[in-house]
Amino acid sequence: MGASQLATAVGISRQTVYAIEAGTYVPNTAVSLRLARILETTVEEIFQLEPEERASAETAEAVVLGDPESLPPGHPLRLCSVNGHLVAVVSELGAWGLPPSDEVLLAPIHRGKRMANAKVKILGNSWNNPARILIAGCDPSASTLANSMPRQDCELIIAYENSSSALELLHRGLVHVAGTHLEERVGGKNSLIAKMFPRNSVAVVSYAIWQEGLVVAKSNPKKISGIADLARKNVRIANREPGAGCRVLLDELLKEHGILAAQVKGYEQVVLGQLPASRLVQSGAVDCCINIQATARALGLAFIPLTQKPYWLVARRTQLDLPPFQMLIETLSRASFRLEVEACIGYDMRTAGDRLT
């Protein structure tokens, strides 16, 4: 029976059949049962459990997204195989407990022609999951997306990076998916995506439309109402790093209002990440920041809308037909997921999962 014939009979793609045959994808229960029925055999005859290997800790070299020299030895990391590279992501420490980890940092190594920049100790084999996808972006709701997908079909590992860094990592082949809110329309000749990737080499999928604006304290004691107030001497901001979508928006608005960066108190105070910037407002360390409405909502802060932007997911077209990517897009399109994000995060999810290119 040919792969196309089998795929049609079972209700899956031909690429999924190839992935199952190659052992790089483990189908769910429903697909396994349909395969057994079409092939007139049992699931046990098609699939067998591998002998359980004794847990071991092996040393390897990996690319750490971030600066490994700033991390202490033993710091927990998540691990993913991307285009033949071992890529490690710094685990976010939880409020009450330690995060899950696939490896721990041993020591940074000197950068050179090799891609790897750190030695790590790998803990077991759970990281070597063909359904594991590494996604880079700044969206705080990425964890909601990860929790909405069954692990056997698609396991998301999240690297929190700004939009420019996420696209650069995709360009270098170090992540599977990049999230960006730097651009407002698809296909622009001067767009960053068009400049970084050959024509028709990547696909763009809609994730959400969100509000961007000024996050201020709940009672807004400084009576901030717009960009012009950032030039006041009694207003201090928290700024994002160059390349971040919110930093780009701030610079555009300052130029539009004829305000110099030197006039803005706190402009040089760079904060990595959307939630960390809004937390500075919450703590009273600064008076405001340019951010997305979701962070104000999560921290109980006030929000002054300035614009709305689309947030897109970008991936190599050659990978879109693989089962984990199909599950990712299917989850984005699911009504229950859209409803959860709209209710809890406040995004406009009407176009989630739509293929734009």
Q: What is the pLDDT of residue 224?
A: 97
Residue 55: is its pLDDT beyond 50?
no
Whether 39 and 114 share a structural domain: no
Choose one of 128, 159, 176: the last residue of a domain. Answer: 128
Whether 251 and 305 share a structural domain: yes
Choose one of 128, 162, 185: the last residue of a domain. Answer: 128
What percent of the chain clears pLDDT 70, i.e. is strictly above it? Answer: 94
Count other C-beta atoms under 10 Å from residue 299's C-beta: 16
Choose one of 110, 128, 146: the last residue of a domain. Answer: 128
Confidence of residue 118 (pLDDT cuts 50, 70, 90): very high
Q: What is the pLDDT of residue 97?
A: 72
Q: Could you read off the pLDDT of 214-229 as tens digits, one per residue? A: 999 999 999 999 999 9
| CA–CA distance, 183 with 314 (Å, rounded to integer) | 12
Among 127, 85, 81, CA closest to 102: 127
Whether 164 and 211 share a structural domain: yes
Confidence of residue 149 (pLDDT cuts 50, 70, 90): confident
Whether 97 and 135 share a structural domain: no
Whether 329 and 272 share a structural domain: yes
Whether 103 and 172 share a structural domain: no
| CA–CA distance, 14 with 29 (Å, rounded to integer) | 18
Whether 85 and 194 share a structural domain: no
Whether 181 and 302 share a structural domain: yes
Give the domain CATH number at 218.
3.40.190.290
Q: What is the tally of structural domains in the chain?
A: 3
- Residue 141's SS3 state is coil
Whether 187 and 334 share a structural domain: yes
Q: What is the pLDDT of residue 186?
A: 76
Whether 210 and 320 share a structural domain: yes
Average pLDDT over residues 162-175: 96
Q: Which domain holds residue 276?
A: 131-357
| CA–CA distance, 174 with 147 (Å, rounded to integer) | 23
Mean pLDDT, the chain, as a whole number? Answer: 91
Average pLDDT over residues 49-68: 75
8 A C-beta contact, residue 227 and residue 306: yes
Residue 252: is its pLDDT beyond 90?
yes
| CA–CA distance, 136 with 201 (Å, rounded to integer) | 18
8 A C-beta contact, residue 207 and residue 331: no
Q: Could you read off the pLDDT of 70-98 as tens digits, one per residue? A: 889 999 999 999 998 999 998 776 656 77
DSSP letter at 348 equals B
Indicate if the alpha-carbon torsion angle 240, 73, 168, 176 is positive or negative.
negative
Whether 235 and 155 share a structural domain: yes
Whether 34 and 164 share a structural domain: no
| CA–CA distance, 45 with 188 (Å, rounded to integer) | 52
Q: Could you read off the pLDDT of 24-41 as tens digits, one per residue? A: 788 889 999 999 999 999
